[in-house]
Structure 1
Amino acid sequence: MNKPNNPILIGKVGKSYGILGWIKIFSFTENKENIFDYLPWYFYKQENWIKIYVKKWKQYKNNFIVQIKGTTDRSKAMQLTDSDIIISKSQLPLLKKNEYYWYDLINYDVFNISGKYLGKVIDLIRTKNNDILIIKNESNKKNILIPFIDKTIIKKVNINKKIITVQ
């Protein structure tokens, strides 16, 4: 099968590297090296899916360079630039009770501790100090940014009702 079930974005392909078909990749996984725990990958570019097998990889500056099986020259590697790196949700480890992945929080409703509706989670941003929820508020058309600091600002994440309560 050349298309993942329940696709999840875990990285992005950068420019080609050298003349032997290596490419730069950017990992979106929490621990950057964990991207290699989820092989094979699917590349998605211009509405096309390609199943990818990694032959070799190396750390390169703050990211990685990868040699793809069957890609042996720079021109073939250049065709992969800007592809999304996708996996099937089933490739992720199973979670324990009351655990969740960041992508699971998208579309959760957010309320403050007084019960006032703030909006829906539309994205998360990773920062050096803490992650940030981006909440879309329909009534005032502005996005609200809330630091994801568990127990201090994020009071409760209800997985069953898809609700986040914040201070």
Structure 2
Amino acid sequence: MIDQERRILLGRILGAFGVRGEVKIDSFTDPARALLKYQPWVLSHRGVEREIGQASGRETPKGLIAFLPGVEDRDAAEALRGAELWVPRSRLPAPKPGEHYWVDLEGLDVVNREGFAFGKVSHLFDTGANDVLVVQGERERLIPYVPEQFVLDVDFDAGKITVDWDPEF
């Protein structure tokens, strides 16, 4: 049975690589090959989940290439295109002081320094310039995740993020 603990999406299968059943993976870890350390993975594809362990791989100029047990040829590898690779949150190392995993911020209340409640963090995304908090409340707000400028405090014990943000934005 697959553990239902909170999970983090760490990669996605882009398709087959070569003819021996290897897959090309878009890894969301840094470096990309670090994804291999967090096994077993929960592979989610077309509504079906299964646990994958003992995958081997290598980083190439074309990305992370992996061999998954039971995937023996190009057709089987190509059939996994779009599959997501999830890991339980507990498998990841503790973040460094002042750093947070995005998944840990999801669900936290967001208030400004005057106490105005914006809502809860739905998710985050990366713009290339900075990360952005997507906050769902009476309306959706996008708040740049820029510590000390817009994000003043993250208090996990209180379950809230304090921001310097105008409610009119």
TM-score, normalised via structure 1 length: 0.85
Report the 3-state secondary structure (helix = DSSP H, G, I; strand = E; otherwise coil) of the residue aligned with 1:93.
coil
Count of aligned pairs between the two proteins:
163
Separation (CA, whole Å) in 2 of partners of 1:78 and 1:21: 8
Q: After superposition, what is the alpha-carbon deviation per residue over 1:57-85, rounded to whole angstroms, capped at 9, x for unaligned?
A: 23243x32212123220111122111110
Separation (CA, whole Å) in 1 of partners of 2:87 and 2:46: 17
Separation (CA, whole Å) in 1 of partners of 2:30 and 2:107: 21
Structure 2 contact 13–23 (Cα < 8 Å) conserved: yes
Alignment match, 2:59: 58
Alignment match, 2:102: 102
Report the 3-state secondary structure (helix = DSSP H, G, I; strand = E; otherwise coil) of the residue aligned with 1:36.
helix
Shift of 1:123: 0.9
Separation (CA, whole Å) in 2 of partners of 1:158 and 1:68: 40
Report the 3-state secondary structure (helix = DSSP H, G, I; strand = E; otherwise coil) of the residue aligned with 1:33.
helix
Separation (CA, whole Å) in 2 of partners of 1:8 and 1:158: 21
Structure 2 contact 32–59 (Cα < 8 Å) conserved: no
Alignment match, 1:49: 49
Alignment match, 2:68: 68
Shift of 1:99: 5.3
5+ residue gaps, structure 2, are 165-169
Residues 1-167 of structure 1 aligned to structure 2 (within 5 Å): 1-3=1-3, 5-52=5-52, 53-61=54-62, 63-95=63-95, 100-138=100-138, 141=139, 143-167=140-164
TM-score, normalised via structure 2 length: 0.84
Structure 2 contact 57–64 (Cα < 8 Å) conserved: no
Q: After superposition, what is the alpha-carbon deviation per residue over 1:29-80, rounded to whole angstroms, capped at 9, x for unaligned?
A: 354332222122220112322222312323243x322121232201111221
Separation (CA, whole Å) in 2 of partners of 1:148 and 1:117: 17
**Percentage identity across paired residues of the two chains:** 31
Q: After superposition, what is the alpha-carbon deviation per residue over 1:125-144, rounded to whole angstroms, capped at 9, x for unaligned?
A: 12322111111122xx3x21
5+ residue gaps, structure 1, are none
Separation (CA, whole Å) in 2 of partners of 1:150 and 1:16: 40
Separation (CA, whole Å) in 1 of partners of 2:84 and 2:75: 18
RMSD: 2.1
Deviates more, 1:123-132 or 1:151-160: 123-132
Report the 3-state secondary structure (helix = DSSP H, G, I; strand = E; otherwise coil) of the residue aligned with 1:14.
strand
Separation (CA, whole Å) in 2 of partners of 1:47 and 1:55: 25
